[in-house]
């Protein structure tokens, strides 16, 4: 219905000779603090200077030029001081929203702004030879949600997991395994043993030997390659088990080891375009005149860098996919680095460099407010996080006294655990740092994933119990809780589009909570089964279920029928 307000304002402003785009009009429109003041309001302050008149007079003149809109659209349009307040025909709004939701189901809220466009998103990207730890969880959760939203909006999405499977740290792992490794331990529990080795070897006294091992790897030494491949295969197998539990999937697994095969070609191109310089035995691209410092391509020991490999990979991706947008979901500590990479691509003459985006996010912090550190052995592993969260969820489910089979309890516990972890992250703005607190995440009360799942299950219970389903309904009058729920459902499409344009899934998470809260207020105040308004209220409950399910799907959370 907001579009109707934009339509009438656009025509009225045009009559006054005011040039303003639909997007600008939409940005100015707000929601009054009270329903008595209307459903939407348009402020006229910003027009005062242009029209050389006071805002109140401008508001009245614009209202007069709107005249009488369709009775099915608005109950009234009033001016209050410098504001034009629009009162939507609420019965018509409720009828339209409920039927659209029920008829569109999975596609409700999906404005196809991405139709015919291709979007690549790189996310998660854990390092091989290390357990999947908390350091890569935020990128996994946020990147997965952005991919879901883009797909919902019509984009052809390619999800890429670009593994950290090359670089100087693998010299440390290889040397560490050669010095401290134990074949029996590796065969029994490969990733944990490799991590143990990595922590032991991550000392200054081992740096030279570690560099030598990485050089052997780059020189395609057979023994080094054989160990590296065993480490990589074991890591991917372990990662895939985690992704399966999280419900996260990828269209492509690639890694730095593939990009390194193309670095010579990229170096030749950089040299031809006179972008390479020598500096203290290394090869760099000097970006100081752009305020971006220097970016190293080849180190003094002739080893290649992340930047050179990322340049090679970006060029290859564009050749392969001809993307419209490519998003890197990576922590905020890499902000300068990605500015350097995108600038170099631009200097190389690639016009699509402007379509590459770094979507940065903050860190998880421990309860002391400090970052987790893999080098000091202070990280938290994803499999342990999942197990702890499942245990807490299992206890909450068993408290409810329902007799369930063990398999069903485990299934529900996993769903609740994933909802707790994902929502616990996504309700925060992506750039904010988060104290990782599983006990708070898994609470069934307040602003949590389990609370939202419980709201969905409560609505599902109403649907199961009702005898009158799918009946035609009449709306005699809307109470405030019915109206609020209708409005919340209606706001879904706008919320999804805004979240995508800002690459901020937190908007959808916040919306999901507000929608669930609105439903619960409706549930407590407005009996459904057996009431005179049962047909309409049943339809409203179903519209809520569809909208919340769609919203949760975008967050990567699976709605469940029973808790």
Please give the pLDDT value at position 378.
54
For the chain, 563 residues long, give each residue's pLDDT as a single digit of tens.
788 899 999 999 998 888 889 989 999 999 898 878 899 999 999 999 888 899 999 999 999 988 776 656 888 999 999 999 999 999 999 999 999 999 999 999 999 999 999 999 999 999 998 889 888 999 999 999 999 999 999 999 999 999 999 888 899 999 999 999 999 999 999 999 998 999 899 899 999 999 899 889 988 999 999 999 999 999 999 999 999 999 999 999 999 999 989 999 999 999 999 999 999 999 999 999 999 999 999 998 787 899 999 999 999 999 999 999 999 999 999 999 999 999 999 999 999 999 999 999 998 887 777 776 554 445 678 888 999 999 989 988 888 767 888 889 999 999 999 999 999 999 999 999 998 878 888 888 889 999 999 999 999 999 998 866 666 888 888 999 999 999 999 999 999 999 999 999 999 999 999 999 999 999 999 999 999 899 999 999 999 999 999 999 999 999 999 87
pLDDT score for 401: 66
Per 3-state DSSP, the chain is made up of helix, strand and coil in percentages (nearest 5) of: 60, 15, 30
Contact 417, 393 (CB under 8 A): yes
| Distance of alpha carbon 289 from alpha carbon 275, whole angstroms | 13
For residue 559, CA distances in Å to 143, 442, 470, 489 come to: 20, 15, 22, 17
Look at residue 301 in the predicted model and tell me its pLDDT. 79
Beta strand 364-365 with 294-298 is: unpaired
pLDDT of amino acid 67: 77
User: How far apart, in whole angstroms, are the C-alpha atoms of residue 296 and residue 375?
Assistant: 23
Q: For residue 361, what is the enclosing H or E element?
A: strand 356-361
| CB-CB neighbours of 353 under 10 Å | 18
* pLDDT at residue 121, as a whole number: 98
Tell me how crowded residue 171 is: count the other CB atoms within 10 A of its CB. 25
- Pair type for strands 118-122 and 156-163: parallel
Which residue, among 74, 38, 418, 371, has the nearest Cα to 245 in the 3D structure?
418
Check the CA dihedral 92-93-98-103 and report its sign: positive
* Structure confidence by residue, pLDDT tens digits, 367-386: 777 776 554 445 678 888 99
**pLDDT in the model for residue 86:** 94
In tens, the pLDDT along 518-552 reads 999 999 999 999 998 999 999 999 999 999 999 99
Which residues have C-beta within 8 Å of that of residue 193, sequence separation ≥ 6?
Answer: 181, 182, 185, 186
C-alpha angle 452/453/459, rounded to 5°? 95
What is the C-alpha to C-alpha distance for residues 445 and 467, in angstroms, rounded to an integer? 30
Q: What per-residue confidence (pLDDT) applies to 61?
A: 92
Contact 275, 263 (CB under 8 A): no
Beta bridge partners of 284: 277, 296
**Greatest Cα pair distance in the chain:** 84
CB 195 within 8 A of CB 133: no
């Amino acid at each position: 219905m907001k579009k109707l307000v934009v339509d009438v304002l656009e025509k009225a402003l045009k009559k006054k000779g005011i040039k303003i785009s639909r997007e600008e009009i939409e940005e100015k429109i707000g929601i009054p603090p009270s329903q008595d003041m209307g459903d939407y309001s348009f402020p006229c302050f910003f027009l005062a200077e242009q029209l050389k008149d006071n805002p109140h007079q401008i508001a009245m003149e614009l209202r007069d030029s709107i005249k009488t809109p369709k009775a099915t659209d608005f109950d009234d349009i009033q001016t209050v001081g410098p504001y034009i307040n629009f009162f939507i025909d609420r019965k018509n709004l409720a009828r339209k929203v409920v039927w659209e939701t029920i008829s569109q189901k999975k596609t409700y809220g999906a404005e196809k702004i991405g139709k015919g466009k291709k979007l690549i998103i790189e996310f998660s990207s854990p390092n091989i030879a290390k357990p999947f730890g908390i350091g890569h969880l935020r990128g996994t959760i946020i990147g997965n949600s952005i991919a879901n939203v883009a797909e919902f909006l019509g984009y052809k999405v390619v999800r890429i997991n670009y593994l950290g499977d090359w670089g100087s740290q693998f010299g440390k792992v290889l040397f560490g395994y050669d010095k401290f490794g134990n074949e029996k331990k590796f065969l029994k529990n490969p990733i944990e043993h490799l991590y143990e080795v990595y922590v032991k070897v991550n000392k200054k006294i081992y740096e030279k030997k570690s560099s030598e091992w990485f050089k052997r790897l780059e020189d395609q030494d057979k023994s080094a390659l054989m160990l590296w491949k065993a480490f990589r295969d074991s890591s991917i197998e372990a990662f895939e088990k985690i992704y399966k539990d999280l419900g996260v999937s990828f269209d492509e697994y690639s890694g730095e080891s593939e990009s390194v095969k193309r670095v010579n070609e990229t170096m030749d191109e950089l040299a031809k375009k006179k972008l390479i310089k020598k500096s203290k035995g290394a090869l760099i691209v000097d970006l100081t005149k752009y305020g971006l410092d220097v970016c190293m391509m080849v180190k003094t020991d002739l080893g290649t860098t992340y930047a050179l490999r990322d340049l090679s990979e970006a060029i290859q991706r564009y050749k392969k996919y001809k993307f419209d947008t490519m998003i890197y979901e990576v922590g905020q500590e890499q902000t300068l680095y990605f500015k350097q990479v995108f600038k170099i691509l631009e200097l190389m003459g690639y016009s699509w460099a402007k379509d590459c985006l770094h979507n940065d996010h903050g860190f998880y912090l421990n309860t002391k407010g400090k970052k987790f550190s893999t080098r000091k052995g202070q990280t938290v592993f994803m499999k342990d996080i999942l197990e702890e969260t499942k245990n807490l969820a299992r206890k909450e489910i068993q408290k409810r006294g329902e007799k369930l089979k063990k398999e069903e309890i485990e299934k529900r516990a996993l769903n609740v655990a994933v909802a707790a972890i994902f929502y616990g992250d996504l309700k925060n703005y992506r750039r904010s740092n988060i104290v990782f607190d599983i006990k708070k995440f898994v609470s069934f009360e307040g602003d949590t994933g389990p609370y939202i799942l419980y709201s969905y299950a409560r609505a599902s219970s109403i649907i199961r119990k009702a005898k009158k389903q799918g009946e035609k309904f009449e709306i005699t009058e809307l109470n405030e809780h019915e109206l609020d729920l209708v409005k919340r459902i209606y706001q879904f499409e706008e919320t999804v589009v805004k979240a995508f344009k800002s690459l901020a899934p937190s908007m959808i998470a916040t919306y999901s909570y507000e929608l669930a809260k609105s439903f619960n207020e409706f549930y407590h105040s407005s009996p459904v089964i057996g009431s005179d308004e049962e047909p309409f209220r049943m339809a409203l409950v179903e519209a809520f279920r569809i909208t919340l399910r769609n919203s949760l799907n975008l967050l990567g959370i699976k709605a469940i029928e029973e808790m």
